[in-house]
Amino acid sequence: MAREVYERKTEALLKPVMEEHHFELVDVEFVKEAGTWYLRAYIDKPGGITIDDCELVSRSLSDLLDEEDFIKETYILEVSSPGLGRPLKKDKDFERSLGESVEVKLFRAVDRQKEFTGMLKAWDKDTITLAFEEGDEWTVERSNIALIRLAFDF
């Protein structure tokens, strides 16, 4: 699928930029919203990303994309911080979040419930395990997870 190729090639273009500035590339997505294509890069660093960081990466990536010119569709480029509610997608996201409180939303209800909040106790390529305050543990197939992200209280 072209979308996956665009995302993978964009990640490859960004790798040296991320290394040079000691940023983390959290995710790249190529999505269509309301008839418009968006190429989004989410970046992070210890202490958080600034608007100047986003601008620096955006300019560098824009130049590289112009040189490579592999995306056929017209699109809008966005570079931003992943924000507080960023989903956990990659192994490094799960590793970093072990022991943290996470929200899990399921595609299919389990015991008539589709949303759970608990501590991420373990994960592998097929499952995640949550621990709850009562001491109970629960393991769910990752294929049934619509969204998993860090839980936050205000």
- 22 lies in the same domain as 68: yes
pLDDT given at position 48 = 86
Beta strands in the chain (DSSP E): 24-33, 36-44, 75-80, 101-110, 113-123, 127-131, 137-141, 145-150
Q: Which of 94, 117, 120 lies closest to 104 in space, CA to CA? A: 117
CATH at residue 25: 3.30.300.70
For 66-73, what is the mean pLDDT? Answer: 95
Residue 32 CA to residue 38 CA, distance in Å, equals: 6
Task: Report pTM.
Answer: 0.71
pLDDT given at position 151 = 87
Task: Examine the pLDDT at 77 and tell me if it is beyond 60.
Answer: yes
CATH at residue 95: 2.30.30.100
Q: What is the number of structural domains in the chain?
A: 2
pLDDT given at position 153 = 66
pLDDT given at position 115 = 94
Beta bridge partners of 101: 119
pLDDT given at position 133 = 87
Q: Which helix (H) or strand (E) holds 57?
A: helix 51-68
Kindly give, in sequence order, each residue whose CB lies less than 8 Å from that of residue 45, ignoring residues fewer than 6 positions away: 21, 22, 23, 24, 53
For residue 89, which phi and psi values (nearest 5 degrees)? Answer: -125, -40
- 12 lies in the same domain as 66: yes
For 133-154, what is the mean pLDDT? Answer: 87
Higher pLDDT, 21 or 135: 21
The mean of the pLDDT values for the chain is 92
CB 81 within 8 A of CB 44: yes
- Please say which residue of 35, 52, 80 terminates a domain: 80
Domain, as residue range, for 69: 2-80
pLDDT digits (tens, 9 = 90+) for 95-128: 888 998 999 999 999 889 999 999 999 999 999 9
Kindly give, in sequence order, each residue whose CB lies less than 8 Å from that of residue 112, ignoring residues fewer than 6 positions away: none
CB 78 within 8 A of CB 31: no
CB 81 within 8 A of CB 43: yes
Task: Examine the pLDDT at 154 and tell me if it is beyond 70.
Answer: no
pLDDT given at position 60 = 96
Distance of CA 124 to the CA centre of its chain: 17
For 62-79, what is the mean pLDDT? Answer: 96
pLDDT given at position 83 = 79
- Please say which residue of 19, 48, 80 terminates a domain: 80
Residue 144 CA to residue 18 CA, distance in Å, equals: 32
For residue 86, is it within any domain? no
- 7 lies in the same domain as 76: yes
